[in-house]
Each structure stands twice: as structure tokens, then as C-alpha cells.
Amino acid sequence: MITPPYVLDSSVWVEFFLGNDTVRNLIIDRLRANEIIVPSVCAFEVALAVERRIDAEAARLVAANMREQRVDALTVDRALQAASIRREYKLAMADSIVYAAALAHHATLITQDIDFEGLPDVMYLRQR
């Protein structure tokens, strides 16, 4: 049986790497059982957040872990798809790119970003 892939939004990656137990418990099984798609813009956002909150070495370790997943590079086609999504859903640029990657791979987007709440193929995790 083929299991559907997931895209983890930057908010989820950051909480995962910072040790948020709720996020870790939800994500760890998915990391083992499903393909994880990493939009390249997430690597940027997560590395920046981890470097700010911890240090540069931690950011390098995070990047190495993200590279182990399937990276979705920002191509011209993906950028055009993201622009269309931005117009339709009024998302910010990076959010549009992340959502475009999820839709292109028929993946479920897991996020803590309220801007995605209620969109198709999104699992929104309320922050506590």
C-alpha cells in the first residue's frame, strides 16, 4: 500500500527540532512511514529560526536532516503555481510556495500557521 506524502511547514519543523513533545509525537511516525517533501523555502526559514534560537551549528544539523528528505526546489513552474495560489488564497509568498509544493505532490500539508486553516489537504495543528 502506498502511503501519501506529507509536507511539513516551517512552523512544524522548527517546533520539531526545538523538542516540542506534542509536535514530535505527531510527526515521528509520519517521518518513518511516509515520504516527507521539503520545499526549499522551508529549509531557509527553518535554518534561520534555529540559528536565531539556538546557534549556527544547530542550524547546520537541521539542514542535514532536512536534506535526507525529498527536497522540492523552487522552479519557475512551481513559482508560477505559487503565484496562482497567492491570488486565490491570499497567502504570503513563502506560504504560497509551500502550499504549491504540497499540492504538486498530492501531499497533506501539516502546519501550525493559522493562515492555512481550512484549506484543502491541510492538517492544521493549533498551538497551545
Residue count (the chain): 128
DSSP 8-state symbol, 74: -
Is 9 annotated as ligand-binding? yes
115 known ligand binder: no
C-alpha torsion 29→2→69→122, nearest 10: -70
What is the enclosing helix (H) or strand (E) of 111?
Answer: strand 108-111
Please provide residue 10's backbone torsions phi and psi, each rounded to the nearest 5 degrees: -55, -40
**Residue ranges for the binding site for Mg(2+)?**
9, 95
**Residue ranges for the binding site?**
9, 95
